[in-house]
Every structure is written in C-alpha cells, then in structure tokens.
Amino acid sequence: MIICNVKHVCVFLFTSVVLSCATYHDIRKDIISHPNWNLLDRGGDCGRNVAYRILGGKNARLGQYPWIARLLYEDINGNNETNFIYECSGTVISERYILTAAHCSPEYMKIPLISVRLGEHNVRTNPDCEDGVCAPPVQDITIEENTCHENYTEDLLHEDICILRLTNPIQFNDFVSPICLPIHDFFQQINYEGKSLEVAGWGVSDIFVETGSDVLQTLRLKVLNHSQCVQTYKNRKKQIIPKQMCVGGVIGKDSCAGDSGGPLMAPFSVNGWPRYHLIGIVSFGPVFCADSKVPGVYTVVSDYMKWILDNIKE
C-alpha cells in the first residue's frame, strides 16, 4: 500500500492496490464555493468507525458502519390494522440529514415515512453489546421533510436520490456518526471497474427466506464495466445512464430488499487514517434478487454533490 504525505489522500480497496493519490485539499471548486459548504462535515470526524446478511454476506462488527440509518414506515393492512415496518436504509451525512433513494420516499412507497433509527446493529437487542463493549441505546428521530430529485421517475429510476431532513439533530457518538462525502476532484476521475466496494444492510440474507436479517450484514462486491452494465440492462429494456454504476452480479451475493437506499462505500486513507466515503446509493436490481448474474444498480453520489448542497439548510 502506498503511503502519502499529510497533504494527500489515497484510496485502497481491499487489494492493497492504490487507485489514486490526490491532494486532499483539491476539493471541487463548485463545492467549496457553495454557500452550504459549511453544513457538511468537511473531513473532520466523518467516515471513522470503532471496529477495525446482505446475501452472501456476514455479520458486521458493532460500530463498523455508524452512519447507516433504518427508515420506519407506517403501513395499514387489509384488516385496517397499523403496522410499523422498516423497508429502506439511508446514510447519515450530517447532524440533520440522511441520504437515501428517491424510490424510498413516502410519495413512491405509498405509505407514510415516520422516522429514522440510528445506532442499530441487532434489531432484537437494545442496547447492542459485543466483546464486552455496549453501544448507547438507538436514536429514533422523526422526519421534518424529504426532498427528492426533481427529475426522478418511477419507470426509469434515473436520478434515484433523496434527502431526509430530521426534526431534531442527531447526537453523534462512536456508534452514530456521518460518512464522508465524495467532495474531491479525483472522485470524478476514479475508474472503479474491477474494484471491490462495500454494502451493508438488514435486507433479505437468504434467497429462500423473505424476512430480513436480525444483525447488520456486510458484503464486498465488484464494480462492473459500465458498457457491460449498459448492455445487460438494455437487454432487459432498462436504460443505464453515466450517473449510475453496476455492482455485483454474482449469484447469491447482492444487496436486496430492505437495503434499498443504503450505502455503497469505500475506505480511503486520509492523512494516514482510514475514512469511509459514500460512493453510491442502492437503487435497483433484477426481479429475483441475487438469484441471477444480473448486477445491482447504484446511484453515483459524486455526480449529485451540488444537488445535495442545493437542498440542505441550517
């Protein structure tokens, strides 16, 4: 692994291969000049974790992904009974904002979005404990408003991105904290093809069982060639655009139902300290999740940084 000096940032993706080494201060000019730039974490404590089944995945460590949020919806069944269900995931990007997929918004889910749960690990225990260490109790915070991309459409699933503003600020701790956003120039230059990125969530962990996993799952998936991705979905009457990427396509390994809106991540070494950055948002995949060689499709976050800044406030 290449070690850069203190003014540089390198990315390494599980293979000891450095994808790029760029000046950490080379933040995109359209971002650093934006009036809402000061509302982001800007590299302070973002992307750190205290721990050094998505399908085919394994249990995550307690505190491994402190930025993952669960989205709680209110559903009324045929007997007019109210059920509260977790149907999507999201990613903490600041003390007031969660990033998720547009198709997870209440307008498209057709059921009310009530709140987000933060600091979850095992859904059956609260607080969660591992190896003698216990996390604080989970935080449940209601949604003040949601803002989805103005060009999102259900049929194409392009521009599948949405920001949730919370009613109250998140109380950050070792088990609840924001991920770093792709604010540097080199994020628009990196070729991820063939590299392994991480996904995590509580979605279906067995293709023969419809219920989600109790424990947060994690998995590494490889990024496919974009042209191959375009052709794969063209054969299925779906158009893939440059602001989307294909990941996975291995039978039995994929992000699945319940992981919609969740993060696609990569650890970067920032001044010698590994920091996770948000690369993509889980958008959609084949009808039979992880039961074919068809890859999952993710929204590329670096292409939406200005949109994100345009849609946050104090």
Per-residue model confidence as pLDDT tens digits over 191-215: 999 999 999 988 754 444 556 789 9
Check if 66-178+307-311 and 185-302 are the same fold: yes
Question: Exactly one of 41, 89, 94, 103 is catalytic; which is it?
Answer: 103
Per-residue model confidence as pLDDT tens digits over 286-309: 755 655 678 889 999 999 999 999
Helix (H, G, I), strand (E, B) or coil at 17: coil
Distant-in-sequence, close-in-space partners of 235: CB < 8 Å, separation ≥ 6: none
Question: Exactly one of 128, 160, 254, 259 is catalytic; which is it?
Answer: 160
Confidence of residue 252 (pLDDT cuts 50, 70, 90): low
Distant-in-sequence, close-in-space partners of 197: CB < 8 Å, separation ≥ 6: 13, 220, 221, 222, 223, 247, 264, 265, 266, 279, 280
The pLDDT of residue 208 is 44
CA distance 153 to 234: 18
Based on DSSP, count helices (H) and strands (E) in the chain, helices before strands. 4, 19
160 noted as active-site residue: yes
The pLDDT of residue 6 is 36
- Is residue 228 within 8 Å of 76, Cβ to Cβ? no
Distances (CA, A) of 231 to 44, 228, 236, 246: 40, 5, 9, 11
Token digits of residue 150: 């103005």
Confidence of residue 17 (pLDDT cuts 50, 70, 90): very low
- Is residue 306 within 8 Å of 223, Cβ to Cβ? no
Q: Which fold has domain 185-302?
A: Thrombin, subunit H (2.40.10)
Mean pLDDT check: name the lowest of 2-11, 68-77, 277-286. Answer: 2-11
Task: Answer whether CATH 3.40.50.300 is correct for domain 66-178+307-311.
Answer: no
Mean pLDDT over residues 93-111, rounded? 96
CA distance 109 to 113: 9
Per-residue model confidence as pLDDT tens digits over 205-244: 444 455 678 999 888 889 999 999 999 999 888 999 999 9
16 noted as active-site residue: no
Question: Exactly one of 115, 177, 255, 260 is catalytic; which is it?
Answer: 260
Domain boundaries, the chain: 66-178+307-311, 185-302
The pLDDT of residue 81 is 80
Per-residue model confidence as pLDDT tens digits over 24-56: 458 899 999 999 998 887 657 899 988 654 555
The pLDDT of residue 13 is 45
260 noted as active-site residue: yes
**Top-confidence residue, 273 or 159:** 159
Nearest 5°: CA angle at 88, between 159 and 116? 110
Distant-in-sequence, close-in-space partners of 110: CB < 8 Å, separation ≥ 6: none
The DSSP bridge partners found for residue 221 are: 197
- 88: pLDDT strictly greater than 70: yes
Helix (H, G, I), strand (E, B) or coil at 116: strand
Token digits of residue 96: 């007031």
Confidence of residue 259 (pLDDT cuts 50, 70, 90): confident
The pLDDT of residue 115 is 98
- Is residue 283 within 8 Å of 160, Cβ to Cβ? yes
